[in-house]
Amino acid sequence: MSNGNQSENNNSPANWTRGLIIVGVIIAGIIGLQALFSQVMTPGTQTSMPEVADLINRNQVQSIIVRGDDVTVERKDGEVLRTRKRDRQHPL
């Protein structure tokens, strides 16, 4: 007889809400880890966009790779530099 009550409890709005919250936390965790590892795994020295522009004007850049806002620059001498297209700014 308790089986009928148990199936009703499994379909309650509170259980659906809890399930959606758990899924949201998992997705946020995956996105956070991806962002963390993309920063950690990309080799190179941090630089600024004006410095990258200067290197391009002086014909010292071998290649540029852009992934989202992340920019990786390989100089002709083999040095790898990193920068961002936009600075991360807080809305406040």
Cα separation values, 33 from 37, 70, 84, 89, Å: 6, 16, 19, 20
Q: What tokens appear for 44 in the block? A: 């190179």
- The predicted pLDDT at position 27 comes to 94
What global pTM score does this model have? 0.50
Q: How far apart are CA 62 and CA 31, in angstroms?
A: 31
DSSP-assigned beta bridge partners for residue 63: 74
Q: How far apart are CA 44 and CA 85, in angstroms?
A: 16
Place of tokens 């991806």: 34
For the domain made up of 44-87, give the CATH fold: 3.30.720
pLDDT in tens, 15-72: 888 989 999 999 999 988 877 766 555 567 888 999 999 999 999 999 999 988 888 9
Domain boundaries in the chain? Answer: 1-41, 44-87
